[in-house]
Structure 1
């Protein structure tokens, strides 16, 4: 599978390592240019390459977006249109500036990303600490396996993202649609930052 990653911070670079370890071909981009990612590419090796955001978006069958939410309008919308996009972003007003729509809970950050890009967006990896994403992967069937909530409007797309989540050592739990489900694991909710098994996460999400 070809995977693009836009954003080379903690989450983006950790996912680049995981996906490359699976044998996937990955193109990662940041806002400063491919040349600034030379050390990361050399460290991870394998099928990882650096590119521009446009190149990462065009390359990926699945594209991870992991930049500050306040900069989502800088995403290459034309290249992302109709792609499967994994949105790891969260809205933090103190960092991103105030967003009246989100402050009023009229929509969610992922829905705004979907509207802007025309992509098939799945919300995932936004509620897990990056250190846990780096270190806590376990084999399938391990009773202590950590679960990751996933939200989206298309079941097949969520399943495809869930397969990737499972392959890197975590259990995907369907939280629901991009809007209703996404609200259940955004910042300030009980699942956000919680390290739970699939059974416990599912129970928590069903209380929302």
Structure 2
């Protein structure tokens, strides 16, 4: 039995869903464009209020709402905000939201350029998404964090297309993972089961799969080569890779939000 599974479907048109997106940055906006184009009803929220999202609504077809309204919109919720802002979300954000609604987390840790040092993430004991899960009080599914927003919006392809980009999907809840993997496939990407949330360090910044648009076979091989338990040496290596990448971005004048 293979270690990793790829979502495969005979049809790419799922039943139209209600999807809430909390975060209107690059990834949130790209998802809104693609999901509305596929016929899904999308509510999108930011921290500044729906009245600031008029232009984005015009571009994407999504409906501007508050974070609480987005969380209660329906079938899947996407949380795509800077990691440092996760603790500022309303504590009752998911109150009344059914337990079977998957919550997607797209976050990445950028300690130099944006987030500052988060002590719980410095040791390597926790992954970013485990930290997010603790703060949200809900199980999360890790995906869409390792692909550029422009590629997410523009590079989806039909299943079976040679070189189709694969995205790792990590979670502890099997049913939530399968629902999200089906959505990834519908968006035009091979969804590779990347194991548990504790294994999602393999798709975080500084790792080989981060921002590299691997096809499924290469991604599966890469995940397998890393093992499942992060060693201190791996943590140090990938943290150093990320620090170098952040310094490069800083030198170019890039600012993250």
Please, what TM-score do these two structures have when normalized by structure 1? 0.94
Determine if contact 1:57/1:76 at 8 Å carries over to the other structure: no
After superposition, the C-alpha distances for 1:48-97 in whole angstroms (9 at most, x for unaligned) are: 20001111112132111111000101223423253421100101112111
Check if 1:121 corresponds to 2:137: no
The answer to whether the 8 A contact 1:122-1:150 is kept is yes
Question: Per the alignment, in what secondary structure is the counterpart of residue 116 of structure 1?
Answer: helix
1:18 maps onto 2:34 in alignment = yes
Deviations 1:15-41 (A, max 9, x none): 011111111111000111101111111
State the SS of the aligned residue for 1:152. Answer: coil
Moved over 3 A (4+): none
Aligned residue pair count: 205
Alpha-carbon distance in structure 2 between the residues aligned to 1:24 and 1:130: 19
Q: Which structure has greater strand proportion?
A: 1
Task: Give the direction of change, closer, same or farther, for the CA distance of 1:60–1:75 in structure 2 (3 Å limit).
Answer: farther
The match for 1:204 is 222
Residue by residue over 1:110-165, the C-alpha shift from the partner in whole angstroms, topping out at 9 and shown as x without a partner, is 11111222222000000011121111110111112100111100122111001111
Aligned pair 1:34/2:50, yes or no? yes
Give SS of 2:170's match: strand
Q: CA RMSD in A?
A: 1.2
Which of 1 and 2 has higher RCO (CA within 8 Å, sep 6+)? 2
Q: 1:192 Cα deviation (Å)?
A: 0.6
Residue in structure 2 matched with residue 8 of structure 1 by the alignment:
24
**Structure 1 residues without counterparts, runs of 5 or longer:** none
- What residue number does 1:67 align with? 81
> TM-score scaled to structure 2, two decimals?
0.77
Q: For the pair shown, which has the larger CA radius of gyration, 1 or 2?
A: 2
Q: Is the 8 A contact 1:123 1:152 kept in 2?
A: yes
Aligned to 2:250: none
